[in-house]
Chain A
């Protein structure tokens, strides 16, 4: 049986730069900037003041609501400022700036093994929330919220996303090979919280080493299976992964839990384990620092808040021909205005692309070739939606499924006229959201 979805496209994946590079620990940064709002939901509220001494893993803020999580100090030192800092997406928001004392002292209890075998579902969820765990695949949705479905939604499956279909990125691939046990333990913990009878780990076929490791490690576990997915972007999209794994369509406008599923990234599972078993908050993550325009591509374990420029330097610095630097993968990542933007909880990669590869094209008129329609994994009409947005017909675009679009970029990738489809979808979605807010 082939595990995949309808539509999609496989761009050259550029994994060769870093797939064989073991995860290296970054040297401690001298200074970090930790944004208070680095997840979907309400911003967290600072609980430290300028001048405070903080230690690694110490909470810097408290959740600003249920759909919110705290952030934690990623180095030990002194809070130098709480100021508006440009994030990787280009917008400014409050961040706690910590200057290192270079001691790397742990906060009380952080990293201490805990016997969690008797933890109740609620206790596990509380731990996850307190540790500030959010989806590490990019969307950064607070994990404890995902694990709190309403009582009438029965969860049958936890699906771990080890697809990593974004070209270039290899962070999840490496993590699966280097710490499979924590991922699997994390999966079990998540299954426990929602009482899910089954666990599935989905990995794209182009990661045979990861598949092998995960298969070996799960062979003795009855209710956890590893599936090999066809190599196609965006196989790692939540809806595509669910469809591939259990052949169910998440309803338009709905959530995975509507078909009895919670999807989580493999990295997130590992963070869940750290939070529960090691009492270790989410203050570091694996990042692929790669691309054709970096000298020595690497996978690194970086502290949250480290300036991207330090990761780039650690990977040998950029080459002459660097043109774009991205936070995330080439299909959905954000182009950065400055190299200093700090690593956040969703930073799966820092990608340095050359002009040759990341060329910005001038749009040509749509020739109705239908390529975008063929590849759209959600079966939308990208060209029609785009033209409607361009002409200000937002309602018309919405009827055609504008709000379903996940901005995966597959349509724009294949378009021979190089239409900036996703750009218009962003504008359109923002506009519709604005209109909905105004209507309220």
Chain B
């Protein structure tokens, strides 16, 4: 037989899993959230997401071409960064800010570190931090937030000055500052917001973060596929509930409001920037909850999810170091 046989190390068969498949499934799982953002904020939400995704993909391809390395945009990870970045901006922010943010996320937070797998920080969150630092007004001013469109299809989208309104977190924080004895439920219901609204996403907020429900559907899909370590969201959200409850705040409000769902389901679970072992992930999640609550309650910002994730990203190597699993048949070294 003159056929060339192939020789390589074992194992000789491999599973069908691939990075590309994982990334595309994560992208797919964000469709319900994207749909809800369109439902509540109109076409602008889709448009900004598109701007962000296209910028991310073009930036990644461009840099890889320039560095003369393989172009890997088809692995779906740049698309994911694009979507997540757009999900973190207010609906009425000028599109060019999103474009610059997306460029920054890919160029600096991802490619400058060496590309997928080598980045320390979640690229989308670095992009967000960059936008927040450079255009604080556009990123936080009430002018750029919007109340959801009243009903689907009735309008093509609200005009900017008509429906701008503060996010529930901002509202509650301001109100409690003025009078700490007020009940959170009362504050939001005075503003026409119920827990249910918070759950489905019928509130003002960043494009993709408002609907706990849509994000939950997405993450459950990913957990079933085994792409998300359930410990992170469960311990993160669970601890936020516990901490806020222990401190006398409204825990239900705190888990439903703001970007906690998006952060806990999609940003903190980013494989590259989270710890590797289960134990490490639990510690990571509890740390996230601690900083999130601390920023929300004592910090200068109403929301603390993205900063706490970035903060905890920096200690991941440390967590990994201290959570090396005990190997099978471990024997204590004998002291000599």
Contacts and interface: CB of A to CB of B under 8 A. Distances in A.
Interface of A: 9, 11, 90, 167, 239, 243, 249-254, 309, 318, 322-326, 330-339, 351, 353, 357-361, 364-371, 373-374, 377-381, 383-384, 400-401, 404, 407, 409-410, 412-418, 420, 422-423, 426
B154 interface: no
A420 B9 contact: yes
Given A368-B276, A383-B276, A335 B6 contact: yes
Contacts of A339: 1, 5
A331 B271 contact: no
Given A336-B7, A368-B273, A381-B324, 6 more contacts: A251-B331, A252-B329, A331-B10, A335-B12, A378-B329, A413-B11
Contacts of A374: 278
Given A325-B5, A366-B117, A413-B14, A250 B329 contact: yes
A380 B327 contact: yes
Main secondary structure of the interface of B (DSSP, over half): loop
Contacts of A404: 327-329
A423 B10 CA distance: 7
Nearest to A353: B12
B21 interface: yes
B277 interface: yes
Most buried by B among A336, A369, A409, A410: A369
B276 A379 contact: no
Interface string B134-153: 00000000000000000000
B12 A324 contact: yes
A365 B116 contact: yes
A9 B15 CA distance: 10
SS class, residues of chain A in contact with chain B: loop
22 contacts: A239-B329, A243-B328, A249-B328, A252-B330, A322-B3, A330-B10, A332-B11, A333-B12, A336-B7, A364-B19, A366-B117, A367-B271, A368-B117, A378-B328, A380-B327, A383-B276, A384-B324, A410-B11, A415-B17, A416-B19, A417-B117, A418-B18
Contacts of A377: 328
B162 interface: no
A338 B17 contact: no
Given A11-B15, A367-B117, A333 B328 contact: no
A361 B12 CA distance: 10
Interface of B: 1, 3, 5-15, 17-19, 21-22, 114-118, 229, 271-274, 276-278, 320, 324-331
Contact of B13 (A251, A338, A357): A357
B10 A333 contact: yes
Nearest to B323: A381
Given A331-B13, A333-B10, A357-B13, A368 B116 contact: no
B6 A323 contact: yes
Contacts of A400: 324
B5 A412 contact: no
Contacts of A309: 1
A326 B12 contact: yes
Contacts of B7: 90, 324, 335-337
B8 A370 contact: no
B88 to A, nearest CB: 22
B16 to A, nearest CB: 9
A239 B328 CA distance: 9
Contacts of B327: 252, 378-380, 401, 404
B10 A422 contact: yes
A318 B11 contact: no
Contacts of B17: 371, 414-416
Contacts of A360: 6, 8
Contacts of A90: 7
